[in-house]
Structure 1
């Protein structure tokens, strides 16, 4: 830990290991870092759970059903967003594509789709939807795309600075980069503290604020707009309440999710944000 960094919070992995990790605040970039961070070859074991929904098409249980319901709505919003930002259909790279649903939806709209996904189970499920995924960004070296997207993926990537440079190279001049990440400065994050499900250690290695995202991408990108992900506060609050109290469903959690969105109308600090960047040149 560097001298200017300080411990922000201790958080447990409630999904897989029950291990505890520290969140370290970096005032220069205004974000949190998970400490210690598992080695790259060890990370995969922390994803080995049927409850890790983004790597499955599971539809049983409350959280899975809610997730799949919201996902259907969000796919429509995402495909409209990339069309608006690109001002037409073009080439698309989705980083961390999971089971391929977003790329499938974009392909049906006419996009030339490509994607990466390191998880083998998710890749197999994507292939059943006729979506072929590569294992890493290195497979696209030398290529460029009209739109590059990372939907709740940047927080998972070990080599952050190196990845940002690769992303910059992958976006065409004046092309679009879209990033969605949780916001640790939201009301629901502050309310649940160590139980906030979107900390999701150690799968989430970084925990961003709006300021940190702007700072990290300022060199090569212009930030055009920030949009809220209003359903995230409800889903995250339900899961946080489960971690805190053991209750699989809680009206209180829904109230906290609503309250978070209402407060964010004033503070602009939603549970998660979508950042739309334009490559400078």
Structure 2
């Protein structure tokens, strides 16, 4: 995930096309602004990551960039192995905004210290959200999108 950090995506895409060898494959992966988690958590969506993420993308926007440069999109893939984590962190940020604390930092610290409750709670959330993550990726609403 780099493309969301570049200050001039149009120029970056032009340069990537220029240096791409004939028959070469360009793969770009970005957080999916059209994800289910973004729709639920809005400004608390963990992958917004402001101010480090300068731009937000969806599969449609990536296809437009490719089309403008006559690049062929071979495949779109949704989601990543950390989608459950993103969903958990986004939810904890959202809850924290209502309670005035920071549940993600607390859970993260407790987990790193080996707190059995925190490890079990996080593991339970992660495993519980795996089927949802797989379904959302299949429906093209995963937390990240990759094309090439």
What TM-score comes out, normalization by structure 1 length? Answer: 0.40
In structure 2, what is the Cα distance between the partners aligned to 1:257 and 1:237? 10
* Alpha carbons of structure 1 residues 195 and 256: separation in structure 2 relative to 1, 3 Å: farther
The residue number in structure 2 matching 1:236 is 86
Please give the TM-score of this superposition, normalised by the length of structure 2.
0.73
Change (3 A) 1:270 1:258: same
Structure holding more helix per residue = 2
Shift >4 Å, 4+ stretches? 250-253, 255-258
SS at 1:261 equivalent = helix
Aligned residues: 124
Q: Which runs of no fewer than 5 residues in structure 1 stay unpaired?
A: 1-151, 277-281
Shift of 1:258: 4.3
Say if 1:197 and 1:188 are closer, same or farther in 2 by CA, change over 3 A: same
Is the 1:237–1:253 contact (alpha carbons within 8 Å) kept by the matching residues of 2? no
1:268 aligns with 2:140: yes
Structure 2: 5+ residue stretches without partners:
97-101, 108-120
Q: CA deviation at 1:157?
A: 0.3
CA contact (8 A) 1:187 1:271 kept: yes
Alignment partner, residue 54 of structure 2: 205
Cα 1:227/1:161, change in 2 over 3 Å: same
Matched, 1:247 2:103: yes
Is 1:190 matched with 2:63?
Answer: no
Q: Which has the higher contact order (CA 8 A, sep 6+)?
A: 2
Partners of 1:186 and 1:264 within 8 A in 2 = no
- Larger % of strand: which? 1
Asked if structure 1 preserves the Cα contact closer than 8 Å seen for 2:79 and 2:137, the reply is: no
Deviation at 1:185?
Answer: 1.1
8 Å contact kept, 1:183–1:208: yes
Residue 187 of structure 1 contacts residue 260 of structure 1 at CA under 8 Å; is this kept in 2? no
Change (3 A) 1:203 1:162: same
